[in-house]
Homo-oligomer: A and B are copies of this chain.
Amino acid sequence: MYVKRYYSFWMTIRWSKYSLIYGVLYSSVIIILYEITKIPFSLPWEPISVIGIAVAFFLGFKNNSSYDRTWEARKIWGAIVNDSRIFATGILSFPNSDLPFESKRKIVHRHLAWVLALKHTMRREKTWEHNLPVHKLQFIPRFIKEYSDGMNVEIEKYLSQEELENLKNLSNIPSQLLKNQSNEIGLLNKQQFISDHKLVRLHEIVGDLYANQGMSERIKNFPFPRQYASTGLWITYIFCGLIPFGLLDIFAESSALHYWLTIPFSAIIIWTFFVVDRIGDYSENPFEGGYNDVPISSISRAIEIDLLEMLEEENIPAPYEIENGFLM
Copies of this chain present in the complex amount to: 5
A75: CB under 8 A from chain B?
yes
Interface contact B273-A54, CB-CB below 8 Å: yes
Known: A218-B74, A225-B70. A269 touches B47 (CB 8 A): yes
Minimum Cβ distance to chain B for residue A142 (Å): 18
Interface contact A89-B127, CB-CB below 8 Å: no
Interface contact B234-A9, CB-CB below 8 Å: yes
Interface contact B56-A53, CB-CB below 8 Å: yes
Give the CA-CA distance A233 to B279 in the complex, in Å: 13
A134: CB under 8 A from chain B?
no
Give the CA-CA distance A238 to B267 in the complex, in Å: 12
User: Which parts of A244-260 form the interface with B (CB within 8 Å)?
Assistant: 246-247, 249-252, 254, 256-257
- Interface SS of chain A: helix, strand, loop or mixed? helix
A235: CB under 8 A from chain B?
yes
A132: CB under 8 A from chain B?
no
A144: CB under 8 A from chain B?
no
A26: CB under 8 A from chain B?
no
A12: CB under 8 A from chain B?
yes
Interface contact B42-A256, CB-CB below 8 Å: yes
Minimum Cβ distance to chain B for residue A129 (Å): 8
Nearest residue (CB) in B for A264 is B43
Give the CA-CA distance A279 to B295 in the complex, in Å: 27
Minimum Cβ distance to chain B for residue A274 (Å): 11
Interface contact A5-B127, CB-CB below 8 Å: yes
Chain B residues whose C-beta falls within 8 Å of the C-beta of A275 in the assembled complex: 231, 234-235
Interface contact A7-B215, CB-CB below 8 Å: no
